[in-house]
């Protein structure tokens, strides 16, 4: 059966965002006034989507975005000694080390591979929970994946491309984590992309409360639920916070 997974990349602006400072697991700040407005705008944008499951980071800024959680997991990243420092300093560290941003890992920080392992662990937990809760409602081993959309518009309605999908999951996460997750979906899980997709845009940081939408097709294999297809509906949509 098909699952609509809506990933909100970032939870909303904090004062550190505004000041150009890095924040990961060690910095747990509340949303700024602008961040609260962004969170309200995201909630209003998604008001007509009836989510059956909600998964969120355990950071305060994510909890403020959606307090009605079914599972709370750590889905942000650690920047090690760069935590709390200026973003420009982080970029300078990467350049001095001869590495690219945001792929650079500062001392004490998580590597891209470590973050990817947590992405895989979270995806597995999500699939098993949703499969166990909703498989009996579908009564089928698998529902065929629908055709990919022709484009991935930056603006549109919250239910674009997912109106006929029976199960809707919301994942509230953070930008650095989503960079790794999207790359994993595309490069290793062979996520089907809308025609004309720009990979440079797909692998970039999402704006605060930016929305990414994926359709996941599950099938039951013995006593487990496995992912048989993955399709991107749209990526980094942020028109709901435009003034």
pLDDT, tens digit (0-9, with 9 covering 90-100), for 70-100: 333 444 566 788 878 888 888 888 888 888 7
> Is there a domain that residue 11 lies in?
yes
Name the percent of the chain lying above pLDDT 70.
Answer: 78
- What would the mean pLDDT of 179-194 be, rounded to a whole number? 92
> Is there a domain that residue 177 lies in?
yes
Q: Does 126 or 68 have the greater pLDDT score?
A: 126
Identify the pLDDT of residue 84. Answer: 80
Threshold 0.85, pTM exceeds: no
> Is there a domain that residue 91 lies in?
no
Place of tokens 């959680």: 69
Tokens at residue 229, please? 């297809």
- What would the mean pLDDT of 125-153 be, rounded to a whole number? 65
Using CA atoms, how far apart are residues 188 and 183, in angstroms rounded to an integer? 8
> Is there a domain that residue 218 lies in?
yes
> Is there a domain that residue 191 lies in?
yes
- What would the mean pLDDT of 133-155 be, rounded to a whole number? 56
> Is there a domain that residue 56 lies in?
yes
> Is there a domain that residue 197 lies in?
yes
> Is there a domain that residue 180 lies in?
yes
Task: Kindly give, in sequence order, each residue whose CB lies less than 8 Å from that of residue 77, ignoring residues fewer than 6 positions away.
Answer: 24, 25, 109, 110, 115, 174, 176, 177, 180
* Residue 120 exposed, middle or buried by CB count within 10 Å (0-12, 13-18, 19+): middle
- Domain with residue 59: its CATH number is 3.40.50.1240
Q: 3-class DSSP state for residue 52?
A: coil
Does the pLDDT value for residue 234 go beyond 80? yes
Identify the pLDDT of residue 165. Answer: 84
Crossing angle of helices 175-187 and 112-138, in 10° steps, is 70
- What would the mean pLDDT of 138-161 be, rounded to a whole number? 57
Tokens at residue 89, please? 């300093």
Element at 176 (helix H, strand E): helix 175-187
Does the pLDDT value for residue 54 go beyond 90? no
Task: Report the mean per-residue pLDDT for the chain.
Answer: 77
Which domain does 62 fall in, by range? Answer: 2-76+111-136+160-237
Q: What's the start-to-end Cα distance of the chain, in Å?
A: 38
Task: Kindly give, in sequence order, each residue whose CB lies less than 8 Å from that of residue 123, ignoring residues fewer than 6 positions away.
Answer: 227
Identify the pLDDT of residue 16. Answer: 77
Range of lowest pLDDT (42-46, 91-95, 230-234) = 42-46
Identify the pLDDT of residue 24. Answer: 66
Using CA atoms, how far apart are residues 220 and 104, in angstroms rounded to an integer? 38
User: Alpha carbon 168 to chain centroid distance?
Assistant: 14
Q: Does 31 or 117 have the greater pLDDT score?
A: 117
Neighbours of 44 (CB within 10 A): 11
Q: Count how many domains the chain has.
A: 1
């Amino acid at each position: 059966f098909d699952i609509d997974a809506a990933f909100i990349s970032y939870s909303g602006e904090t004062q550190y965002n505004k000041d150009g400072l890095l924040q990961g697991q060690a910095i747990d700040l509340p949303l700024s006034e602008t961040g609260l407005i962004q969170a309200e705008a995201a909630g209003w944008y998604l008001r007509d989507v009836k989510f059956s499951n909600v998964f969120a980071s355990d950071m305060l800024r994510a909890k403020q975005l959606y307090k009605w959680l079914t599972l709370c997991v750590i889905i942000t990243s650690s920047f090690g000694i760069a935590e709390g420092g200026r973003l420009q300093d982080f970029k300078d560290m990467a350049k001095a080390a001869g590495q690219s941003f945001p792929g650079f890992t500062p001392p004490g920080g998580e590597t891209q591979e470590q973050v990817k392992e947590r992405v895989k662990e979270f995806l597995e937990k999500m699939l098993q929970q949703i499969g166990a809760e909703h498989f009996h409602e579908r009564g089928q081993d698998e529902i065929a994946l629908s055709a990919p959309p022709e484009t991935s518009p930056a603006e549109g309605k919250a239910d674009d491309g997912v109106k006929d999908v029976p199960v809707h999951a919301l994942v509230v996460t953070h930008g650095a984590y989503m960079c790794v997750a999207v790359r994993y979906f595309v490069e290793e899980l062979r996520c089907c992309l809308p025609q004309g997709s720009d990979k440079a845009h797909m692998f970039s940081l999402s704006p605060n409360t930016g929305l990414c939408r994926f359709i996941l097709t599950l099938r039951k294999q013995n006593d487990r639920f496995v992912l048989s297809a993955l399709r991107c509906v749209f990526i980094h949509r942020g028109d709901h916070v435009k003034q």
